Amino acid sequence: MRAVVQRVERASVSIEGELVGSIGRGYLILLGVGQEDTTAEADKLWGKLSVLRINDDENGKTNLALADVDGEVLVVSQFTLFANCKKGRRPSFTEAAPPAQANELYEYFVELVRRDVPRVATGRFGANMQVELVNDGPFTVILDTDEL
């Protein structure tokens, strides 16, 4: 699994002009699921991310986890995180999980987040979404379960 995590002041996702999810201060998580991923990777990813200290304390140091700042989470599926651009000019997405598997693991990941975070919003799997955010910092990290 791969995640692009952006610390945000606020974020939202819309589909065809309709707002389907929004959060205040917290994390926007763009989540990609690979062919070899299982619930173990989802557990590993959320286990790391839930305690990652990427929020500023009173001294401006990144010492606080999401729960320490009562953060919210917006999770948006993004298979393009598995784009392979080594050949030609058109990315290949063969490393991304098939839609049924990806959706199942996306939903599993969202449930993990909901166990720990009071306010969780999502996009809609497979939809053409418009994501808006105000990145705080900007602060963005990329996590890959193959490297955790």
The C-alpha atoms of residue 105 and residue 115 are separated, in whole angstroms, by 15
Among the listed residues 35, 39, 62, 80, the single catalytic one is 80
Among the listed residues 6, 62, 78, 93, the single catalytic one is 78
- For the question of residue 79 being annotated catalytic, the response is yes
Instruction: Judge contact between 28 and 8, C-beta under 8 A.
Output: yes
The dihedrals phi and psi of 105, each to the nearest 5 degrees, come to: -75, -35
Strands 120-122 and 72-77: parallel
- For the question of residue 145 being annotated catalytic, the response is no
Among the listed residues 79, 109, 122, 145, the single catalytic one is 79
Question: In a 10 Å sphere around its CB, with 0-12 CB exposed, 13-18 middle and 19+ buried, how is residue 40 labelled?
Answer: exposed
- For the question of residue 94 being annotated catalytic, the response is no
Catalytic residues: 78-80
